């Protein structure tokens, strides 16, 4: 148990669906992250939030829309996804956004049909 909880663990969606991934951290951290891990590829940083403010967006397509209502919760809203978006989506948190020690959730395995 890392203190970072992601739901759902598995998600199958069609290309016209809208769904959301949820992440909650119980560590009192100020920074939260979304990463994408495609098959046989290294982790890619998608978004960084610090104190509920988005501080980094790494050229992620607009069909991915993050939301951070407070420092404990992070969402990734998905719409009009493509099959190549199928991947493991990981949430992480750290004490603040400069810290290299990050705590990861177990991830959401997303399949887009």
Partner 1 sequence: DAKTTQPPSMDCAEGRAANLPCNHSTISGNEYVYWYRQIHSQGPQYIIHGLKNNETNEMASLIITEDRKSSTLILPHATLRDTAVYYCIVRESTSGSRLTFGEGTQLTVNP
Phi, psi values for residue 71, rounded to 5°: -70, -5
Shortest Cβ 68–partner 1 spacing (Å): 14
- Pair type for strands 10-13 and 108-112: parallel
Choose between 17 and 37: whose C-beta lies nearer to partner 1.
37
Contact 82, 15 (CB under 8 A): yes
d(C-alpha 111, C-alpha 26), whole Å: 28
Tell which positions 73-102 bind partner 1, by CB under 8 A. Answer: 88, 90-92, 97-102
Tell which positions 26-45 bind partner 1, by CB under 8 A. Answer: 31, 33, 42-43, 45
14 binds partner 1 (CB under 8 A): no
d(C-alpha 66, C-alpha 109), whole Å: 17
- Pair type for strands 73-79 and 18-25: antiparallel
Residues 6+ apart with CB under 8 A from 59: none
107 binds partner 1 (CB under 8 A): yes
Shortest Cβ 80–partner 1 spacing (Å): 26
Among 74, 105, 110, 112, binds partner 1 (CB under 8 A): 105
Q: Which residues bind partner 1 (CB under 8 A)?
A: 2, 4, 31, 33, 42-43, 45, 48, 50, 55-56, 88, 90-92, 97-107, 109
């Amino acid at each position: 148990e890392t203190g970072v909880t992601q739901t759902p663990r598995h998600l199958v969606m069609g290309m016209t669906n809208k769904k959301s991934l949820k992440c909650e951290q119980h560590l009192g951290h100020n920074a939260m992250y979304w990463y994408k891990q495609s098959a046989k590829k290294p982790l890619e940083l998608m978004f960084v939030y610090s104190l509920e403010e988005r501080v980094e967006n790494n050229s992620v397509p607009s069909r991915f829309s993050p939301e951070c209502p407070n420092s404990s919760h992070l969402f990734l809203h998905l719409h009009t996804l493509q099959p190549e978006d199928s991947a493991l989506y990981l949430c992480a948190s750290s004490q603040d956004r400069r810290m290299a020690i990050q705590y990861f959730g177990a991830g959401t395995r997303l399949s887009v049909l």
